[in-house]
Structure 1
Amino acid sequence: MVYDVLGSIRSLIKLDDYSIDNNVFRLHYKATVIFLVAFSLLVTSNQYFGDPIDCIQRDDVPPALLDTYCWIHSTFTLPDALDKKIGVEVPHPGIDKYTPGEKRVYHKYYQWVCFVLFLQAVMFYIPRYLWKMWEGRRLKSLVLHLDSPIMDKDDRDEQVNMVVDYFRTNIRYHNSYFYYYVFCEFLNFVNVILQMYLIDAFLGGAFSTYGFDVIQYTEMDQENRVDPMIAIFPRMTKCTFHRYGSSGDVQRHDALCILPLNIVNEKIYVFLWFWFVFLAIITGALLVYRLFVIFLDPVRKTMLKSRARLCNPYNLNIVLSVTKIGDWFLLYLLCKNMEGQNFREFIERYSEEIMKSSNGNDNEKEPIINKSGNETPEER
């Protein structure tokens, strides 16, 4: 059954032809979405095509009726019975004789787990959708067939010249392109934090420390520990069913209900706790790194030079001397997607165009690039 469920999400695993983002971004809209959709399908298969609840009682209430009633109206446990000795004081964790006024914890979430997981998958894909909309397939239009190492010389020359013409016409007009991308990265960070609060509210405030509680549980003595997974996702609960008796009086029927689906739910949310914490940490670190990129020009130059190793530093510095941050970002994406030799050809031709334009305009201030590849400002 598990393999059948996971096989239905293979269509989500597809390599993109062009890379318009980074690995951290892909962890949000690819890995996380695949996890959430897979978990949603797994829970759905057990919930609607299996037997998610079984209730037992000694009276003449039909079992199917009791199961349906308890599934719809939720079940409960007694938190004061979690610490009692199993098999001596209570039959199961959280199960004990109920006295009026005693605190009860109702478990209603299990009906909605599959829907909440799917909603979370949609929310994790929203930043990707926005970025694709704002990016507008610009990178794909510029790369053309220059991602291939084998091309006809005339075709390569023509396509390289088209990219050069585009940059010559649109240089310094790409800042919004870059800041849209940064906004989507920030949205990823906000979203993963929001998802953690959403699950915490969904599980009654138990998710925020869930991972820590599980770790502490594994380090405790066997006799003195209470499984936090059973406290949040109980396998055995109670259900109260009322009906009229033969004399017309209201009769109360107590039933014990087994929730085998919670064995799956508890593992899912343990994984999600650690995964979301990991995502939040690396996405937050990426945003700090992005601040360095925005405010420190040497960082941007170092990044592009380290990726464009085949390019002549002299030519690359000429191009970088006339670019703004948006132009740099587009050049960086082009370098990621173009074949190295083709990108080097583009940089060489574009630097020649810049030098020609600089020599033909005596009234414009342009940086002079020495042969070592470093900029030396000079006013004309």
Structure 2
Amino acid sequence: MLKTFSSISQYIKIDIHRVIIDNFVFKLHYRLSFVILLAATLLITSRQYIGEHIQCISDAVVAPVINTFCFFTPTFTVVGNGTAPNKSLLSQQGIRPYDRETDTIKRHAYYQWVPFVLFAQAICFYIPHALWKKWEGGRIKALVFGLRMVGLAKYLKGKSLDVDNLNLPSIGFVEQRVRDIRRTMIDRMRLNQSWGAHLVFCETLNLCNLLLQIYWTNSFLGNQFISLGPKVLRERWVDKVDILDIVFPKMTKCTFFKYGSGGSLQEHDTLCVMALNIMNEKIYTILWFWYAVLLCLTILGLIWRVLTLFMYKNLFFSKWSLYWAKPGRLDDKELSAVIEKCNFSNWMFLFFLRSNLSEFMFKKIIYHLASEFPDPSDDNIINANWARKREHDDDDGITSYPKLDTIDAPLLHQRPTAATGGAQAV
């Protein structure tokens, strides 16, 4: 079994060095939901756990032929006048003689499509993350690169130290990185206005996708999925025909026609054992409860996002939020000076920096930003400063500087090396 699921093991590994660019609820969508649906797809397509997906009984038709035919052609059950009060009164729900003219039958064709639907749903849960990762552009990773072990920097005098896969930066390296982060934050203050909007859009897209998957699954199972969970809890443990026996019948009927020796058309009424539905009922029951939990958490996550959108300027709220991102104390005056000059995108940028950096490093960044963040009341103060510097240099015959709008964050193109403590072009 472990070998079967080895292909999805890469998605469930816990990497302590992974850079955080989203929150816990977001991860539940593109990691846990994605893994659950992929595992279900592999389970359904693996014959070693359930044997043949369908086995049909027929006295006059060769077994492989009737099995293949009934798997490709929807099987059916006979709809009764009511639910049997006790399981012992009948062998299987929907298995009895029927009249084509008067009886109603229910066709079951979903089992042919289950692996395709589950895989498509897994892809849908990953799409919002892929969009956010593209829009985020690796900025957070570029800024926090090599800063995991800065707490030990004071013990290293002039050189960085590599131990296995860990890099212990020197104090000079840390100071250079603080300056780089400060410069990047200031340079991008007027250029990342859509950064926060993209994050909110992707989080909202997670909710829309979840609702779509619930609706899609409900339609796929004949409008029985919405009420599946409560009915399972209420009916599964009593001696009555429950919802799983109705939605996922273990035995169905199949009609096969062939010409006899005399040329007349013969009808063969076949009984089929649906081994595949043993797994289907468990997969969709688990999915119901998982979707219910995920829906509640997603709504709570969006409520949290609305609170951050309207309260990020509040000092107490920002202190509590940044402490929740990673515990540590911050100077109230310095933090207040920074958040007063931040818009929502800048604040979210700081939030994810705090999630990835130690208290020591983040306090240094806040200290520098408190006195150097541009005033948001000046609509384009950074470009204005570049323009004044360019005009001054033009008068002196020096090559003019480019506009800020053509300059990207320096750490997106440069990464410091442990040997130099400076910046090296990639």
Please say whether Structure 1 and Structure 2 have the same fold, judged by a TM-score greater than 0.5. yes
Cα distance in 2 between the residues matched to 1:111 and 1:77: 16
The reply on whether 1:332 has 2:348 as its aligned counterpart is no
SS at match of 1:254: strand
Residues 312-369 of structure 1: per-residue CA shift (max 9 Å, x gap): 2222112112111111100010011012211111111222435xx78xx9xx9xxxxx
Contact 1:79-1:94 within 8 A present in 2 as well: yes
Aligned with residue 174 of structure 1, among 192, 202, 219: 192
Whether 2:250 is the aligned partner of 1:235: answer yes
C-alpha distance in structure 1 between counterparts of 2:335 and 2:225, whole Å:
50
SS at match of 1:20: coil
Matched AA of 1:261: L
Cα distance change, pair 49–235 in 1 and its aligned pair in 2 (3 A): closer
Which SS does the other structure have where 1:92 is aligned? coil
Partners in 2 of 1:323 and 1:308 — Cα distance?
22
Is 1:198 aligned to 2:216, yes or no?
Answer: yes
The 10-residue stretch of structure 1 (292-301 or 332-341) with the greater mean CA deviation from structure 2: 292-301
Output the aligned Cα RMSD.
2.2
Any conservation in 2 of the 1:172–1:323 contact (CA below 8 Å)? no
The match for 2:404 is none
Moved more, 14-23 or 124-133: 14-23
Mapped partners of 1:180, 1:320: distance in 2: 20
What letter corresponds to residue 160 of structure 1 in structure 2? V
2:290 maps to 1:275: yes
Q: Per-residue deviation at 1:288?
A: 1.8
Q: CA deviation at 1:171?
A: 2.3
Show the counterpart of 1:309. Answer: 328
- How big is each residue's C-alpha offset from its partner over 1:41-92, in whole Å with a ceiling of 9 and x where there is no partner? 01011299941111112x321111111111111211112177346565x432
Return the alpha-carbon distance in structure 2 between the equivalents of residues 12 and 49 of structure 1.
26
Aligned to 1:23: 24
Larger deviation, residues 330-339 vs 162-171 = 162-171
Q: Quick one: percent identity of the two aligned structures?
A: 36
1:36 aligns with 37
Letter in 2 for 1:77: T
| 1:209 lines up with 2:248 in the alignment | no
Q: For 1:148 and 1:48, locate their aligned partners in 2 and report how far apart those are by CA, in whole Å.
A: 46
Separation in 1 of the partners of 2:281 and 2:271? 20
- Residue 417 of structure 2 aligns with which residue? none
What letter corresponds to residue 326 of structure 1 in structure 2?
S
Whether the 8 Å contact between 2:20 and 2:356 is mirrored in structure 1 is yes
TM-score by length of 2: 0.78
| Contact 2:229–2:288, Cα closer than 8 Å, also in 1 | yes
| Equivalent residues of 2:319, 2:330 under 8 A apart | no
Residue equivalent to 1:287: 302
2:61 match: secondary structure: coil
The match for 1:323 among 342, 354, 374 is 342
Q: 1:218 to 1:71 in 2, by over 3 A?
A: closer
- Map of 1:371 onto structure 2: none
Q: Bigger shift: 112-121 or 44-53?
A: 44-53
Amino acid at match of 1:138: R
* Residues 1-380 of structure 1 mapped to structure 2, 5 A cutoff: 2-14=1-13, 15=15, 17-46=18-47, 50-57=51-58, 59-80=59-80, 83-84=83-84, 88=89, 90-101=90-101, 102-149=103-150, 150=152, 151-218=169-236, 221-222=238-239, 225-296=240-311, 297-298=313-314, 299-300=317-318, 302-304=320-322, 307=326, 309-354=328-373
Deviations 1:161-191 (A, max 9, x none): 0111112222254331011001000000000
The DSSP-based 3-state class of the residue aligned with 1:243 is: strand
SS in 1 for 2:266: strand
Which position in structure 2 is the counterpart of 1:376? none
- Which shows bigger deviation, 231-240 or 6-15? 6-15
314-323 or 108-117, larger mean C-alpha shift: 314-323
Q: 1:70 to 1:346 in 2, by over 3 A?
A: same
CA distance in 1, matches of 2:105, 2:179: 73
Q: Any gaps of 5 or more consecutive residues in structure 2?
A: 153-168, 382-426
Distance 1:157 1:177, change over 3 A: same
Q: Which runs of 4+ in 1 moved over 3 A?
A: 47-50, 84-88, 299-302, 305-308
Question: What letter is aligned with 1:35?
Answer: I
Give the TM-score normalised by structure 1.
0.87
Shift of 1:308: 6.1
Unmatched 5+ stretches in structure 1: 365-380
Q: Separation in 1 of the partners of 2:310 and 2:340?
A: 16
Whether contact under 8 Å (2:51, 2:275) holds in the other structure is no
Q: Residue 107 of structure 2 aligns to which amino acid in structure 1?
A: Y
Kindly indicate which of the two structures has a greater share of residues assigned to helix: 1
Contact 2:214 2:291 in 1 (8 A): yes
Letter in 1 for 2:366: I
Looking at structure 2, the residues matched to 320 and 109 of structure 1 have their Cα atoms a distance apart, in angstroms, of 54
**Greater alpha carbon shift after TM alignment, 59-68 vs 168-177:** 168-177
Alignment partners' CA distance in 2, 1:78 and 1:192: 33
Task: Classify the secondary structure of the residue corresponding to 2:253.
Answer: strand
**Equivalent AA in structure 2 for residue 228 of structure 1:** I
Query: Structure 1 residues 22 and 86, CA, compared in 2 at 3 Å: closer, same or farther?
Result: closer
